[in-house]
Structure 1
């Protein structure tokens, strides 16, 4: 069962038996789902932002492309990186750039709002170095964890996704990005009617052209405001 130590930490060290809101974006959204399913008595509310209950096959294909770009670097030998993969970081960034943001983002040149004068300047200034500050072997572990994200893999559910979703008793708010390419809104829409044990369950897509980044809206005021207002209403309900 994922994250049992986190629950024990809250209970045994901090004396916290109930969490008002478990909030997570992206892989954090998958973790929020885990809290709701695996620690149903602790989570009062869960907010899944640009996440899903399991990594979809389409999402896994995207991640395979990212992995292939990174591991094509000659620094990848015998299953791990012996040195920082400079070319691999850049290749991974260029692949990721097309998925993290949307068709509309590039069509309407929304990168200009960040001060870039050309598409190439945006890619070079943002994505070419985006992953270079991270350890490449840690990135591989993160990709593996992401691909295997699935709340039904917990021992209590035996791979039954319907059973794991029905185990959630919290109030549930699903906030996919309307233009998110890999955690797609249609996946959350399919999960919604299967949350049969939840006190309440709602789907509130983020009306944004920033793709997956809408759920972590650094320097995107409209998306940040939408998230804050929606979460405030969720907590107040």
Structure 2
């Protein structure tokens, strides 16, 4: 059983962001456990919503982030539809007019919630999958004395050119669709969202995973063939739960992620060498978005860091909740690290 609060909204008031300003920025969050316990920050990844239980695979009694031992705070990224996003912000900053949001903007907002609303003076660990892991890295750079440990899972300190390029393909598929209308649609553009979902799907898993047709058996047996999986696994979730402008805006944050832009003018090595927090890197062996080679490069610059590769055929999805075996492996490594 998870000791979970309902979704909460923190109003920042006028909040400056990388692309302009939000007149009344809102950060959505949830808390688990006793505030007297060590605080763990667990922000969302791309495609995650707190209200859908996206963080529950690691949070709960007898799970690695146990509310009986830790005070866990889960944060919704700006642009995910729960925190300030194109879909829920009033004019004139709504829809296609929503300003660009950086990772640093998200971390500053989360820090405000922790310190001003929750009374947290120190974060024991910032942990996250994919975009969540990039936020964990930014925690260690934006507030270097505030966080003791970070755990990026299937993630990296900056978005590689290859990663940014594959994301550009999915974004272009959305933007080129006839119903997207440059973001000025009056109803959610189904054609664009379907194209986006299909473009992203191959990158979520791995060639071996597809070659062995794991989608036929491992996802509840609901997909009898590849085309059914492409529609049900690649399109349905986005159509049911997401706004197209939110998807594009959040993708822009991902594409431009780079901790060295926060304070060192692009000197990637210098920024990584300056990180004070202890680091546990958990890349997936078969990740096509954040390959383990990138993590090995980061290891060469980090001071106090451990690298543990997830041996899996589940690709990027290994760091999320898709495969129970990978969740168990990640949980074991994180549990040891948090000791």
Q: Assess same fold via TM > 0.5.
A: yes
Interval of TM-score (by shorter of Structure 1 and Structure 2): over 0.9
Q: Structure 1 residue 144 and structure 2 residue 247: aligned?
A: no
SS of structure 2 residue aligned to 1:131: helix
Greater relative contact order (CA < 8 Å, ≥ 6 in sequence):
1
In structure 1, what is the equivalent of residue 58 of structure 2? none
In structure 2, what is the equivalent of residue 7 of structure 1? 111
Q: Would you say the 8 A contact 1:55–1:150 is kept in 2?
A: yes
1:161 Cα deviation from its structure 2 partner: 1.2
1:78 Cα deviation from its structure 2 partner: 4.0
1:127 Cα deviation from its structure 2 partner: 1.1
In structure 2, what is the equivalent of residue 228 of structure 1? 331
In structure 2, what is the equivalent of residue 86 of structure 1? 190
1:37 Cα deviation from its structure 2 partner: 1.3
After the TM superposition, list the runs of 4 or more consecutive aligned residues in structure 1 that deviate by more than 6 angstroms: none
Long gaps (5+) in structure 2: 1-103
How far apart, in 2, do the equivalents of 1:107 and 1:204 lie?
A: 26
Q: Would you say the 8 A contact 2:179–2:191 is kept in 1?
A: no
SS of structure 2 residue aligned to 1:20: strand
Q: Would you say the 8 A contact 1:89–1:129 is kept in 2?
A: no
Q: Would you say the 8 A contact 1:69–1:88 is kept in 2?
A: yes
Q: Would you say the 8 A contact 1:71–1:88 is kept in 2?
A: yes
1:189/1:234 CA distance change after superposition, 3 Å: same
1:14 Cα deviation from its structure 2 partner: 2.1
Specify which structure has the higher proportion of helix. Answer: 1
Specify which structure has the higher proportion of strand. Answer: 2
In structure 2, what is the equivalent of residue 99 of structure 1? 203
In structure 1, what is the equivalent of residue 266 of structure 2? 159
Between stretches 128-137 and 42-51, larger displacement belongs to: 128-137
How far apart, in 1, do the equivalents of 2:293 and 2:199 lie?
A: 23
* Alignment equivalent of 1:126, drawn from 220, 223, 233: 233
How far apart, in 1, do the equivalents of 2:184 and 2:156 lie?
A: 29
Long gaps (5+) in structure 1: none
Provide the alpha-carbon RMSD of the alignment: 1.4
- TM-score (normalised: structure 2): 0.65
- TM-score (normalised: structure 1): 0.92
How far apart, in 1, do the equivalents of 2:261 and 2:206 lie?
A: 31
* Alignment equivalent of 1:113, drawn from 211, 214, 218: 218
Matched length: 231
1:88/1:79 CA distance change after superposition, 3 Å: closer
Q: Would you say the 8 A contact 2:174–2:192 is kept in 1?
A: yes
